[in-house]
Chain A
Amino acid sequence: ELKVEQNPLFLSMQEGKNYTIYCNYSTTSDRLYWYRQDPGKSLESLFVLLSNGAVKQEGRLMASLDTKARLSTLHITAAVHDLSATYFCAVNAGGTSYGKLTFGQGTILTVHP
Chain B
Amino acid sequence: GAVVSQHPSWVICKSGTSVKIECRSLDFQATTMFWYRQFPKQSLMLMATSNEGSKATYEQGVEKDKFLINHASLTLSTLTVTSAHPEDSSFYICSASDGQKLFFGEGSRLTVL
Interface residues of A (CB under 8 A from B): 33, 35, 40-43, 45, 48, 88, 90, 93-94, 97-106
Contacts and interface: CB of A to CB of B under 8 A. Distances in A.
Interface in B79-110: 93, 95-97, 99, 101-107, 109
Contact of A99 (B32, B44, B45): B32
A83 B45 CA distance: 24
Contacts of A99: 32-34, 95-97, 102
A42 B46 contact: no
Interface of B: 32-34, 42-46, 49, 93, 95-97, 99, 101-107, 109
A102 B46 contact: yes
Q: Is the interface of A mostly helix, strand, loop or mixed?
A: loop
A43 B93 contact: yes
A100 B47 CA distance: 10
B32 A106 contact: no
A98 B97 CA distance: 7
Given A41-B107, A42-B93, A42-B105, A100 B43 contact: no
A100 B34 contact: yes
Contacts of A101: 34, 44, 46, 95, 102
A105 B102 contact: no
A3 to B, nearest CB: 12
Contacts of A41: 106-107
B34 A88 contact: no
A83 B44 CA distance: 20
A73 B97 CA distance: 24
A41 B105 CA distance: 10
B104 A106 contact: no
A43 B104 contact: yes
A105 B43 contact: yes
Contacts of B102: 33, 45, 48, 98-99, 101
Contacts of B101: 45, 48
Contacts of A40: 109
24 contacts: A33-B102, A41-B107, A42-B93, A42-B105, A42-B106, A43-B44, A43-B93, A43-B104, A45-B102, A45-B103, A45-B104, A48-B101, A88-B44, A94-B49, A98-B97, A98-B99, A98-B102, A99-B96, A100-B46, A101-B46, A101-B102, A104-B43, A105-B43, A106-B43
